[in-house]
Structure 1
Amino acid sequence: MSGLLVVTAVPAEADAVRAGLTDPTVTVLPVGVGPAVAGAATARLLALAEGAGRPYRAVVSAGIAGGFVDRAPVGGTVLATRSVAADLGAESPTGFIPVEDLGMPAELLGGGSVVPADPGLLGALRTALPAATVGAVLTISTVTGTAASTAALADRHPDAVAEAMEGYGVAVAATQAGLPFAELRTVSNPIGPRDRGSWRMREAFAALTAAAAALR
């Protein structure tokens, strides 16, 4: 049996994680940007490992994220209590309708739009990273870039602390494989009107390297 599989979106995130690892049994691989490609690539990695007789024990989605102002500070570390497909559903005149509320049979929804983090894995990460902010991490396909959409997301998900683009897809792949899942992010920018000048990529990558010591 192999150890922990950590997947990131891009190689720079994978490099930052590897730089902080202390456990040689942890595998870190970039799988692409967005929930679809990340989920498909993670599922393939898990299937190949199982087929080779060396299945992974757990999966972590890791990388940088945007943080909700006053909930997760720039440069801080975030642990997800649950990974939420925040834009999986339908628009309506009265607001967003989550996919669970569209009247589809439960068997067509899989795990629905929310995948909780594994309690044991999340607990171990919280112990190792006591300063981390803990809450829901939203998975979106379009990065939030206006004050109106930021406010709508914050109102709809009062426990959300950050948003990224891969966690839910990775979570579904792990769940389908029957493996524990967790999501770890470090915050590079506040969520809101797009302002590249406010991004702190260097600080976020440094925080990701520091947090990687908890992945064992």
Structure 2
Amino acid sequence: MRVLVVTAVAAERDAVLGHGPLPGVDVLAAGVGPASAAAGTAAALARSAYGLVVSAGIGGGFAGVAALGSLVVAGRIVAADLGAETPDGFLTIDELGFGAGVFAVDPTVAARAADAARTVVPDVVVGPVLTVSTATGTASRATALTTRHPGAAAEGMEGFGVAAAAAGAGVPVCELRAVSNVVGPRDRDAWRIPDALRVLGAAAAAVLPALREERA
């Protein structure tokens, strides 16, 4: 079985490949945001056959759930800001009747990914990963997201786009996020991007072969 890994940027792609060749794994840096991620994933799936698609990168962790330097394995991939603002609050795309805003990750895949990651990463969390088109930069936005999505573990910008393309092709999906910052007020001095990239690379080296074996 071949696995397609989709990252946003070259630094994440290079981190995934940083521990050496990954037989049967192709890694694509598709661009930032759900639209670029969906387009890149769909194009790759049209060119080649894959048995699994993995959205991988760094992202924000929600306080009290996923700490700096941890790895989050998605149990669900959620389009967190796709919907409509109303006088009575935010309505999700599901509530509007325009489609599904959540993709479930096969529990067996998520569990296998988490077990493999724990062999190299001390802190691994399985939980919802929120996809946003605008990265959170305030405490009020972080609170709004956790109110709408209790238990949210991490925030990224590509997972839902990758999942939508994979679902369209009938291919299972997984998401891995190494936590570089706390979701909330934007404080670049507190970000730990190099550390998160190292976690992503170590996790990828352990998780991707395990997932290929699981789904062989």
TM-score by length of 2: 0.91
Tell me if structure 1 keeps the 8 A contact 2:77–2:102: yes
Which of these residues, 74, 89, 95, is aligned with residue 101 of structure 1?
95
Deviation of the 1:120 alpha carbon: 2.9
Question: Which residue of structure 2 lines up, in the alignment, with residue 86 of structure 1?
Answer: 80
Question: Which residue of structure 2 lines up, in the alignment, with residue 126 of structure 1?
Answer: 114
Runs of 4+ displaced beyond 3 Å = none
Deviation of the 1:118 alpha carbon: 2.2
Look up the SS of the partner of 2:89 in the other structure: coil
CA 1:118–1:186 in structure 2 vs 1: closer, same or farther (change >3 Å)? same
Question: Which whole-Å CA distance do the structure 2 matches of 1:20 and 1:71 have between them?
Answer: 28
Tell me if structure 1 keeps the 8 A contact 2:70–2:178: yes
Which of these residues, 184, 208, 212, is aligned with residue 215 of structure 1?
208
1:163 aligned partner, one-letter code: E
Which of these residues, 132, 151, 156, is aligned with residue 148 of structure 2?
156
Deviation of the 1:37 alpha carbon: 1.0
Question: Which whole-Å CA distance do the structure 2 matches of 1:124 and 1:192 have between them?
Answer: 30
Question: Which whole-Å CA distance do the structure 1 matches of 2:13 and 2:21 have between them?
Answer: 14
Question: Which whole-Å CA distance do the structure 1 matches of 2:148 and 2:88 have between them?
Answer: 13
Which of these residues, 47, 57, 61, is aligned with residue 63 of structure 1?
57
Question: Which whole-Å CA distance do the structure 2 matches of 1:180 and 1:123 have between them?
Answer: 14
CA 1:21–1:78 in structure 2 vs 1: closer, same or farther (change >3 Å)? farther
Structure 1 unaligned spans of 5+:
50-54
TM-score by length of 1: 0.91
Tell me if structure 1 keeps the 8 A contact 2:78–2:103: yes
CA 1:133–1:21 in structure 2 vs 1: closer, same or farther (change >3 Å)? farther
Deviation of the 1:95 alpha carbon: 1.2
1:127 aligned partner, one-letter code: D
Question: Which whole-Å CA distance do the structure 2 matches of 1:123 and 1:69 have between them?
Answer: 22
Structure 2 unaligned spans of 5+:
210-216
More off after superposition, 25-34 vs 15-24: 15-24
Tell me if structure 2 keeps the 8 A contact 1:21–1:215: no
Look up the SS of the partner of 1:5 in the other structure: strand
Tell me if structure 1 keeps the 8 A contact 2:110–2:126: no
Count of residue pairs brought into register by the alignment = 204
